[in-house]
Homo-oligomer: A and B are copies of this chain.
Amino acid sequence: MQIHISANDGVPIYVQIVNQVKYQVASGRLKAGDELPPIRVLAERLIVNPNTVARAYRELESAGLVEKRRTAGTYVSDQGSPLARRERVRILTERVDALIAEARQMDIPKDDLLKLIENRHAVLKPASPEE
Q: Kindly state the separation between the CA atoms of A102 and B93 in the bound complex, as whole angstroms.
A: 11
In-complex Cβ contact of A107 among B79, B96, B103, B114 (8 A): B79
Shortest A109–chain B CB gap in Å is: 10
Beta-carbon nearest neighbor of A79 in chain B: B107
How would you classify the secondary structure of chain A's contact residues: helix, strand, loop or mixed?
helix
In the complex, A4 has a CB within 8 A of chain B = no
Interface string of A69-107 (1 = CB under 8 A from B): 000000000010000000011011101111111111111
Q: Kindly state the separation between the CA atoms of A45 and B25 in the bound complex, as whole angstroms.
A: 51
Contact check, B116 vs A117: say whether CB atoms are below 8 A apart. no
Interface residues of A (CB under 8 A from B): 19, 22-23, 25-26, 79, 88-89, 91-93, 95-108, 110, 113-114, 116-118, 120-121, 124, 127
Name 17 interchain pairs, CB-CB below 8 A, sorted by A.
A19-B105, A25-B107, A26-B104, A26-B105, A79-B107, A88-B106, A88-B107, A89-B108, A92-B108, A93-B116, A95-B98, A96-B113, A96-B117, A97-B120, A97-B124, A100-B120, A104-B127
